[in-house]
Structure 1
Amino acid sequence: MSLEPEGSNRLLRDVLARPGNETCADCGNPEPDWASLTLGVFVCQACSLLHRSIPHISRVKSVQDTWDASEVELMATTGNNAAKAKYEQTVPAFYYRPTHSDCKMLREQWIRAKYERNEFEFIEKQEPYSAGYRDGFLWKRGRDNGQFLSRKFILSEREGALKYFNKQDARDPKALMKIETLNATFQPAKIGNPCGLQITYLKDNSTRNIFVYHSDAKEMVDWFNAIRAARFHYLQVAFPGASDEELVPKLTRNFMKEGFMEKTGPKHTEGFKKRWFTMDDRRLMYFKDPLDAYARGEVFIGSKENSYTVLSGLPSSTQGHHWNHGITIVTPDRKFLFACETEAEQRDWIAAFQRVINRPMRPQEYAVEAHFKHKP
């Protein structure tokens, strides 16, 4: 039975209202306004653009266009829930599922992994990040000269470490990063490459940054998920009673907030200097340059129950700041003074600090706080 266009579009709206179809099949964004006619899924506009990069797999159409009855019928017989049951049937617990706020490269590789490479229908295709061992070459930024040079990396779950070597035939690694403290987060804008990954780890209880990329986006995402797999298996041993739902949020984390602020020293008379700040959980780190390997300093941000507070503005006697939007962080030991360039930045930083301060401290965080208090 053929329907008038108005009738087909009315039926399409009914299909859109079904459970599962109210969010994008790929990133979870609400109210998807595009569809893949070949895959039978509803997606948001941003993901529809990524579907266009695989035209041999997916043909997209706006839900605002005129639809004929056969197209609506195809969407009605598939839909997001049925497609997920097929294309996401064996996604490992550790595998990162991007959201609409993640970088384009990460979202595109998730779409390609599902629909083009069928990685989650055939488990053997997951070996690059599931095997517990991975080696290869990545372009790594030099700590002193800022140049990116090819370096060999080895990730070994058995050794509990990620290592890299300065020379191809070197026996000893230049750095050994324990999986226990490893983190990875995509930073394309900061690194200046769409596949740029920032790896952090603790060295002598201070944060060390490494910036890497690979020209092949799939390679870079495989490295990222291999790190997550190694972290997942480490945490399964460290916390044997924990569920996957408890462990997965601990695998990798994005920084809560980053940007430039001015800061002054402990006496509040040293003058203010512009620094790049990174809020990583309870560690507030500051750098001279966003791509520095080591922080110039770190501040521990505890909870309100432990006498940590954040205030808008600076003490009236404060001098030497070029930016007018001040922030004061009060800790049990001293006050830290910062200044932001704009009121919006000040508001965002205060909100980030407040989220951390409002969260009660976990038992292991008291040990971290004690270390900060005894830093030379």
Structure 2
Amino acid sequence: MADRDRNKKVLLDLAKQRDNCCCADCGAPDPDWASYKLGIFVCLNCSGTHRNLPAISRIKSIRLDYWDDDLVEFMKTNGNAAAKTVYERAVPVFYYRPQQQDCVVLREQWIRAKYERREFTGENNHLQDVYCSGFYEGTLWKKGRDNKQFMKRRFILSEKDFTLKYFTKDDESKGPKAVIAIKDLNAIFQPEKIGHLHGLQITYLQEEHTRNLFVYHDSGQEIVTWFNAIRAVRFSYLKTAFPTADDNELLPWITRSYLKEGYMEKTGPMQREPFKKRWFILNSKDRKLLYFKTPLDAVELGAVFIGTESHGYSVRESQPKGTRGNKWKCGVTVETPDRQFVFMCEQELEQKEWVEAFRQVISRPMIPQDYNSKNTSACIKALFYETKHCPLLLDPPM
């Protein structure tokens, strides 16, 4: 009969080893679960997907469940590093490897791709053709610009001309509704914002304005395939645009998550205008603060470039006096060389999070691409005017 206490101690010691102390699938620290068919240690969240793959993976708690001696020996002779050499042998360099904070569909499809479909073992490279070929087409549900309805639209992604196109009519001879340059495109999963587990936000520049497309697909595998197909074409574009850069330099620019999103109230340049509630997005990589009327707006209302302290930028918590119309009282003041911006947060926690986010951007040194504005000074001076003549946006760091 197995010694329960001894086996538990062995498993806990194994889980502390360098290769096993983080989840084999998402990197979360201190995994408490293990797959005794794959010989890997995983976190609670990833263990849920493994439970749905009983023919491939069997899950036990390393703290609470009973382990037979032979299963413990199997874990000792395997582990996360050994599994990685098998199941991640041929992961394309552009393919997104989900992290702990990523949404469910990304983590689930990563696990299924590795262990169920065995896409990266080197035996089934043909399964990668769908997102590696440089061409992908299909139908996605897209939110209408002026209403909340999602409608089926046909999308075509092409590496040949580095574009993403979508069509509103079945007859493609009438031309696409939009032709999106891969140069200006970003894609991130936004399930909570879009209201669908597979919600994907595609952002791009059109006539120097930031545009959003909100799409989803009922199939988790299909939407993640779209995401990685976009990353593949984006990576190809970056390799073409920056032939001397190595892969590690380019990878952070393929797709970029936002540093901070949420509602704040804003006032005008004179700080005598009434405050208005707006949805803000802080993009750390592009050093941009964008704002929209609602989270699902198709077009931004304004933008501001966030430079460094040496260029005259700073942020602080504040309680401005003499302002009008603000319902929220937790202030954030951003100083630029040409203007002071005042925002109001509803809660003190939000205030502190925004200030910390701004400080992260301000403290990060600028790179040459950050200076590639058509008219940086004019952009900074004209920002945050809610008119039809929105200011120029800085070129993306491409």
Whether the TM-score (by the shorter chain) exceeds 0.5 is yes
What is the match of residue 304 of structure 1? Answer: 309
Q: Partners in 2 of 1:134 and 1:30 — Cα distance?
A: 36
Map 1:192-341 onto structure 2 (within 5 A).
Answer: 192-281=195-284, 282-341=287-346
Cα RMSD, aligned residues only? 1.4
Q: Is the contact between residue 2 and residue 67 of structure 2 (CA under 8 Å) also seen in structure 1?
A: no
Aligned identity (percent) is 54
* 1:19 Cα offset (Å): 3.1
Q: For residue 172 of structure 2, give the secondary structure of its aligned residue in structure 1.
A: coil
1:175 aligns with 2:174: no
| 1:75-99 superposed Cα distances (whole Å, 9 cap, x missing partner) | 1121100101000000011000001
| 1:235-270 superposed Cα distances (whole Å, 9 cap, x missing partner) | 111111111111111100111111110001112111
What is the match of residue 56 of structure 1? Answer: 55
Q: Partners in 2 of 1:210 and 1:271 — Cα distance?
A: 30
Q: Partners in 1 of 2:316 and 2:278 — Cα distance?
A: 20
What is the match of residue 106 of structure 1? Answer: 106
Q: Partners in 2 of 1:314 and 1:13 — Cα distance?
A: 50
Q: Partners in 2 of 1:313 and 1:116 — Cα distance?
A: 53
* 1:14 Cα offset (Å): 3.3
Q: For residue 284 of structure 1, give the secondary structure of its aligned residue in structure 2.
A: strand
* 1:15 Cα offset (Å): 2.5
Q: Is the contact between residue 95 and residue 228 of structure 1 (CA under 8 Å) also seen in structure 2?
A: yes
Q: Is the contact between residue 139 and residue 149 of structure 1 (CA under 8 Å) also seen in structure 2?
A: yes
Map 1:69-148 onto structure 2 (within 5 A).
Answer: 69-121=69-121, 122-148=124-150
Q: Is the contact between residue 130 and residue 136 of structure 2 (CA under 8 Å) also seen in structure 1?
A: yes
Q: Is the contact between residue 16 and residue 30 of structure 2 (CA under 8 Å) also seen in structure 1?
A: no
Q: Is the contact between residue 273 and residue 324 of structure 2 (CA under 8 Å) also seen in structure 1?
A: no
1:189 aligns with 2:192: yes
Q: Partners in 1 of 2:6 and 2:196 — Cα distance?
A: 47
Q: Is the contact between residue 305 and residue 360 of structure 1 (CA under 8 Å) also seen in structure 2?
A: no
Q: Partners in 2 of 1:355 and 1:123 — Cα distance?
A: 40
Q: Partners in 2 of 1:201 and 1:364 — Cα distance?
A: 17
Q: Is the contact between residue 156 and residue 165 of structure 2 (CA under 8 Å) also seen in structure 1?
A: yes
* 1:370 Cα offset (Å): 4.2
Q: Partners in 2 of 1:40 and 1:70 — Cα distance?
A: 12
What is the match of residue 386 of structure 2? Answer: none
Q: Is the contact between residue 133 and residue 155 of structure 1 (CA under 8 Å) also seen in structure 2?
A: yes
* 1:8 Cα offset (Å): 2.2
| 1:334-360 superposed Cα distances (whole Å, 9 cap, x missing partner) | 111100000000000001111111112
Which residue of 153, 156, 176 corresponds with 1:154?
156
Q: Partners in 2 of 1:21 and 1:214 — Cα distance?
A: 34
Q: Partners in 1 of 2:283 and 2:266 — Cα distance?
A: 18
The 3 A distance-change label for structure 1 pair 232 and 150 is: same
Q: Is the contact between residue 314 and residue 337 of structure 1 (CA under 8 Å) also seen in structure 2?
A: no
What is the match of residue 28 of structure 1? Answer: 27
* 1:321 Cα offset (Å): 1.2
* 1:53 Cα offset (Å): 1.7
Which amino acid counterpart does residue 111 of structure 1 have in structure 2?
A: I
What is the match of residue 379 of structure 2? Answer: 372
* 1:314 Cα offset (Å): 4.1
Q: For residue 136 of structure 2, give the secondary structure of its aligned residue in structure 1.
A: strand
| 1:186-233 superposed Cα distances (whole Å, 9 cap, x missing partner) | 000000000000000111222100000000000000000011111111
Which amino acid counterpart does residue 138 of structure 1 have in structure 2?
A: L
Q: Partners in 2 of 1:252 and 1:180 — Cα distance?
A: 11
Q: For residue 42 of structure 1, give the secondary structure of its aligned residue in structure 2.
A: strand
When structure 1 is superposed on structure 2, of 359-368 and 268-277 the one drifting more is 359-368
Which amino acid counterpart does residue 132 of structure 2 have in structure 1?
A: S
The 3 A distance-change label for structure 1 pair 366 and 314 is: farther
Q: Partners in 2 of 1:115 and 1:326 — Cα distance?
A: 49
Q: For residue 173 of structure 1, give the secondary structure of its aligned residue in structure 2.
A: coil
Which amino acid counterpart does residue 135 of structure 1 have in structure 2?
A: E
The 3 A distance-change label for structure 1 pair 371 and 50 is: farther
The 3 A distance-change label for structure 1 pair 108 and 94 is: same
Q: For residue 139 of structure 1, give the secondary structure of its aligned residue in structure 2.
A: strand
| 1:49-95 superposed Cα distances (whole Å, 9 cap, x missing partner) | 12112122111000012212101011112110010100000001100
* 1:129 Cα offset (Å): 0.6
When structure 1 is superposed on structure 2, of 342-351 and 201-210 the one drifting more is 201-210
Q: Partners in 2 of 1:192 and 1:316 — Cα distance?
A: 38
| 1:10-66 superposed Cα distances (whole Å, 9 cap, x missing partner) | 322333233311111001111111000111100011111121121221110000122
TM-score scaled by structure 1? 0.97
Q: For residue 114 of structure 2, give the secondary structure of its aligned residue in structure 1.
A: helix
Q: Is the contact between residue 261 and residue 277 of structure 1 (CA under 8 Å) also seen in structure 2?
A: yes
Q: Is the contact between residue 260 and residue 276 of structure 1 (CA under 8 Å) also seen in structure 2?
A: yes
Q: Which runs of 4+ in 1 moved over 4 A?
A: none
